[in-house]
Amino acid sequence: MSDHVCAPGCNHPSHGLTAQAAGEFAQARHGLGRELPADANASATAAPAVPAAATPHTARHHYLPATDKTVHWGYFSAALAPQLEIDSGDFVTIETLTHQAPDDAERMIRGDPGAESVFLWTARQKNVDRRGAGPMDSPVGAGGGLGAHVCTGPVAIRDARPGDVLEVRIADMHLRPSGNPLYAGKSFGSNAAGWWGFHYGDTVEEPKKREVVTIFELDATGERNWASAVYSFRWTPQTDPFGVVHPTIDYPGVPVDHATIARKQEVLKGYRIPIRPHFGVMGVAPAGSDLVNTNPPSYTGGNIDNWRIGKGAAMYYPVAAAGALFSVGDPHASQGDSELCGTAIECSITGTFQFVLHKQGTLPGTALEGLTYPLLKTADEWIVHGFSYGDYLAELGASAQSAIFEKSSLDRAMRAAYRNMRHFLMTTQALSEDEAIALMSIAVDFGVTQVVDGNWGVHAIIRKSIFPGRGG
């Protein structure tokens, strides 16, 4: 963890902040205690109000790098010690690393001290041993791979208590450049079509069950806003540095020996994939002290995998543990709704966030009253999330962390999204249930967020422009 606390607009070289990011930080700081500029729609319309947060202090800007000492891999827990403690209104720039980086270590790890520290794994040393919420003596590796994501944090917010709501504003995002001088100015990402993908086994070419990894190249300078494929390869059994053979992608961060795979060049030749950077995993700690697998999302957020959770957006999370304990990871350069094959373009990204705490007593009569699900606000839309099980840890009992992978369904996720949007409209607009149902059918877009994370998701989108005017 860095001890550096930034002055307003700081673009300290070690941060990797762009001049644009520094300017946006200063602009956002100036607007503390007000709605984000994204809420400034046409004067004739207004989005549902959220409570104004008290910000009596001057906001500070902190920096949290990703190293083997600042990440936790594959699990959430209210028992985790915070890497940083901040006040409501503060900004934090947080580095995040993709767990898929070892698919091509030359491009995504080599020459990057932070990534090298996290992914270091030799016959005698494994810097981040636990990877997942499973047993430490699992035959596939410590933690069992029951949770795939490298998460940076947690960040504790002073005075956050269960019943409060934490607002997380994404002020900026930028791709992490390759540390290898051979690839200066470039970033890289990996898409794994894995055994957990919705498509797996439902294919027309042989072998019907295969795992394929595709490596993508991106422009770290920001001059090009698209990604292009470099090559792909079929997963072959990989032997990790401890001698364990992985016939499938069954444990995160296994170094791929490129002498054992056959690269297929010129895949997706000529295709330009528009990038829309976002964080697949963002959320606060669930209640209790157990280790919780990062793969299934829940009411406190986590692995939602909604590509709209990007720059300029704000997420609202019900606080379930003291300090909230926010963590972020699973950075994506691009992804489609459903994340069909199991992953996105998994690409390391640095984000700058502002944290605003809304105390329980300020919530009545606002959009956050009775919030029991992750709520997303973008420049033009409000988006509610529904999962097969909203709080699967409570709903499925002692075997919840295994049962959730057997019981998920889109029917249940759609039902949850409907109920959550109904609550949102009845609470924020004072609509009757009949009015809310009519509005949902004619003006709300329901979409499949993801079908690959154990707890499947459906999101419901309503545009702010349809709300009646509130006098500006």
> What would the pLDDT profile of 60-82 be if each residue is shown by its tens digit?
999 999 999 999 999 999 999 99
Structural domain harbouring 107: 5-175+274-466
Same structural domain, 240 and 352: no
Q: Is the pLDDT of residue 342 over 70?
A: yes
- Of 314, 103, 291, 71, the closest CA to residue 193 belongs to 103
Q: Name residues whose C-beta falls within 8 Å of residue 326's C-beta, 6 or more positions apart in sequence.
A: 153, 154, 155, 156, 157, 166, 168, 282, 283, 284, 317, 355
Q: Which amino acid does the sequence have at 420?
A: N
User: What is the dihedral sign for C-alpha 422, 326, 5, 221?
Assistant: negative
Same structural domain, 434 and 460: yes
Q: Which of the listed residues 273, 293, 319 is the one where a domain comes to its end?
A: 273
Is 37 inside a domain boundary?
Answer: yes
| Average pLDDT value for the chain | 91
Is 261 inside a domain boundary?
Answer: yes
Q: Which of the listed residues 273, 304, 322 is the one where a domain comes to its end?
A: 273
Instruction: Give helix 410-428 / helix 433-443 axis angle, nearest 10°.
Output: 120
Same structural domain, 80 and 64: yes
Is 472 inside a domain boundary?
Answer: no
Same structural domain, 202 and 265: yes
Give how many domains the chain has, as a whole number. Answer: 2
> Model's pTM, two decimal places?
0.91
Q: Which of the listed residues 243, 273, 303 is the one where a domain comes to its end?
A: 273
What's the pLDDT score for residue 420? 98
Same structural domain, 370 and 355: yes
The Cα–Cα gap between 103 and 7 comes to 38
Is residue 281 within a helix (H) or strand (E), and if so which, with residue range?
strand 278-283
Same structural domain, 298 and 322: yes
Q: Is the pLDDT of residue 44 over 60?
A: no
Is 471 inside a domain boundary?
Answer: no
Residue 51 pLDDT grade (very low, low, confident, very high; cuts 50, 70, 90): confident
Same structural domain, 406 and 459: yes
Same structural domain, 343 and 434: yes
What's the pLDDT score for residue 471? 35
DSSP E strands: which ranges in 359-455?
375-377, 381-387, 444-450
What's the pLDDT score for residue 367? 87
Same structural domain, 390 and 422: yes
The Cα–Cα gap between 400 and 181 comes to 46
Same structural domain, 231 and 354: no
Is residue 427 within a helix (H) or strand (E), and if so which, with residue range?
helix 410-428
